[in-house]
Chains A and B, each alone.
Chain A
Amino acid sequence: EDKVVQSPLSLVVHEGDTVTLNCSYEVTNFRSLLWYKQEKKAPTFLFMLTSSGIEKKSGRLSSILDKKELFSILNITATQTGDSAVYLCAVGHTGANSKLTFGKGITLSVRP
């Protein structure tokens, strides 16, 4: 059975802190790993990492993929209250009609 496990389940930090969100996976036919941000609405896409792109960066957010150890991390530096959200990790499979398997999410709260 495919598994995507995110940790911690929740965390609270103060503005300016750096946070690291973890995602480990055990899936068949791995093709990609995706990160989404979800505020009080629909998930919005952040990054996709594959064998050909194991590190991505956008502003204060960055992510890496370790295919050997089967995990990914999402780093957020200099956190802001607007970073408060649920962060979802998902894994895509080869030959699977672009289906994704999602983790349960990490709730991040950034205090002023």
Chain B
Amino acid sequence: DAGITQSPRHKVTETGTPVTLRCHQTENHRYMYWYRQDPGHGLRLIHYSYGVKDTDKGEVSDGYSVSRSKTEDFLLTLESATSSQTSVYFCAITGQGKTDTQYFGPGTRLTVL
């Protein structure tokens, strides 16, 4: 398995509170991604990073921000959590070159009450 960890693995929070999810990799891969997975929607890309301090939006980026200050860490922040952001969040990484194969972290289950 690729060396990807996510923290926390589970979190329950209240509407309006800020939340930060962390993705950590030990593979020194360039590309990192944040997805959310919801019933009926599959995996949807929130934000991604193509290098330190280089990030871009995905298809469902509203309400989320990201930061990548080191190769190994990619943070996802919900500035003011809403109930619609209750979901399972996956981080993924892929390596250099033309490979498209992404490897996923174990996921974080976030519940916003």
B interface, over-half SS: strand
Residues of B within 8 A of A (CB-CB), count: 24
Whether B31 pairs with A98 at a CB distance below 8 angstroms is yes
Kindly state the separation between the CA atoms of A61 and B90 in the bound complex, as whole angstroms.
25
With A99-B33, A104-B41 as known contacts, state yes or no: A45 contacts B101, CB within 8 Å: yes
Partner of A42, one of B45, B94, B98, B107: B107
Whether B42 pairs with A104 at a CB distance below 8 angstroms is yes
Asked if B62 CB lies within 8 Å of chain A CBs, one says: no
In the assembled complex, the CB of A88 is this many whole angstroms from the nearest CB of chain B, namely 7
Contact with B along A70-112 (1 / 0, CB 8 A): 0000000000000000001010100001111011110000000
In the assembled complex, the CB of A5 is this many whole angstroms from the nearest CB of chain B, namely 11
Measured CB to CB, the residues of A under 8 A from B are 31-32, 34, 41-45, 48, 88, 90, 92, 97-100, 102-105
